[in-house]
A and B are shown apart, each in its own frame.
Chain A
Amino acid sequence: MWAVYKREMRSYFTSLVGYVYYAIFFLVSAFLFMQNTVQAGENANVSNYFTIIMYLFIITIPLITMKLVSEELKLKTDQLLITSAPSIIGVILGKFLAAFTLFGSSFIVSSLIYYIPLTMYGTPNAAKYFASVLAILLCGMAFISIGIFISSLTENQFIAALGTIVVIVILLLIGNVSQYINSEFIRTILSNISFSSRYSNFAGGILDYGSLFYFLTISALFLFLSTKAFERRRWM
């Protein structure tokens, strides 16, 4: 697992993807933070920032997950991994951890930095703030797992990116769409699936175990499916 992790981390910064990711994330997140907190004046609400930042993942998550498996399939290096690595789960976990390190480091560092002006200009609720940080981290973790799964379905990085974008958009917007559905039953299901609805449970500063379990389950499920997809040629 660590061999793959190290290789992926190195690959992010030799292929410029890592730098591009950090540049996009820090620039856009800083802009969104300023707009929704410091510049919002009396209407400042930090949960607005966290809600909007999730939409940034539509671009940033596919950027870091699209090549993770599809490139191995394209370059036939999957042969090396499957015939040399003791476990395929370790390979997928190594890739997942590398992507999560990139995502997590940027998000945690930015969240810690942005907390400083909040304390300077107001009295932020630490519980709410850091519960939101945790929720977004979990949300990103699930998106990364989904991205890796989609990447393991195709040799084409752009198709992988496009597929991930579509799924992230659906998972974010499905909660908003549910408002227009008459059936209470379907509305509840869609709201429970929606990542933004799940985040709102954390926004009040409460550690919502249901949502925590939901994000962790989605992550584990798609990592498992990625493993199966990666070695599918073995079973065809």
Chain B
Amino acid sequence: MIKVTNLTKKYGDRFAINNISFEVNDGEVVGFLGPNGAGKTTTMNIITGYISSTSGTAEIDGFDILENPTEAKKQIGYLPEFPPLYLEMTVNEYLGFIYDLKKCELKKKDHIDEICRVVKITDAQKRIIKNLSKGYRQRVGIAGALVGNPKVVIFDEPTNGLDPRQIIDIRNLIKKLGEDHTVILSTHILSEVKTICDRILIINEGKIVADTKTENLEAEIKGNRRLEIKVDGPESQVLSTLKKIPGVSFVTVENSYGNGISSFLVESQNDADVRKPVFYAMAKGGWPIISMDYLSGNIEDIFISVVDEDDEKKAAEAETKEKPVKPDRK
């Protein structure tokens, strides 16, 4: 559905994105993850035809966005980071404007009503956008992206600035849209991609440094896994027991609650799942486990892991280049 080949965008001497290639298959929901300035928005802006690339191509359903922009744009609905809303319009007028702009051929009223039903803004259709809450405005932006039934919808930081309730609503909505659309979602928030996306692309300094299925993400992160457990038992004995469990590399007391309950942070090697051994060890000691949670890798962990690996590679390459090759003198 989307094919990006050797895409590069340079601003002066600086690479916003540097020779990136990836494909997004029909029906896939892909999360685009990266720190600020990594090149996420630039990539999305190129795919949607808002800016051009310095080199490389972006194809949507076989149509090159630069060579055949009219056809390519028909396949895309785009919600930029700041929803492009005309605040003085009502929701119906705004969606009607986009409908006319895109020269849609569906039945106008039915189509707009259907979109409003899907994004749950039917009650706001006649209201002026200026008077809507941020969450509603975001929904109107999503509705705008859905006008014309595009095959691909692209969301740039869609939950940015929303309150927790609105974030959950928008995530559920995007998840639902993913059932019959190809979706690209850019975000900083790992839990967001984990909840919504099938696949994750991590971009750093204009390069794709990881491309993996969501379920494999944590397994691919280098470093230790962290388990937080609360145990009702003598702190020092529990601590020494935990340290003896095979696969455990580090244990520390996180907190003592004073009523015999303590919480411990248990780190294990990446491929070792120590939950069962921990359970049996605590059961053997007669110390009830109050709670046990794997601490998910957060965005920083992933970046540090993936980016460190990337930097190591770059450093190794640089070192190789710096070493002059002495010609053989016979």
Contact = CB atoms under 8 A, between A and B. Distances in A.
Interface of A: 2-4, 6-7, 10-11, 14-15, 75-87, 233-236
A233 B70 contact: no
Contacts of A3: 97, 100-101
Interface stretch (B74-82, B198-206, B309-317): B74-82
A76 B41 CA distance: 14
B197 to A, nearest CB: 22
What's the interface size class on B, roughly?
Answer: 20 to 34
Chain B binding surface, main DSSP class? loop
Nearest to B99: A3
Chain A binding surface, main DSSP class? helix
Contacts, number: 64
A87 B86 CA distance: 20
Contact of B80 (A79, A85, A87, A236): A79
Contacts of B76: 83
A235 B52 contact: yes
B292 interface: no
Contacts of B93: 10
A11 B88 contact: yes
A2 B96 CA distance: 12
A81 B84 CA distance: 9
A233 B82 CA distance: 17
B246 to A, nearest CB: 55
Contact of B88 (A4, A14, A79, A86): A14
A224 B11 CA distance: 25
A11 B100 CA distance: 16
A77 B85 contact: yes
B134 interface: no
Given A6-B97, A75-B87, A80-B144, 6 more contacts: A7-B89, A14-B88, A75-B84, A84-B73, A84-B102, A234-B52
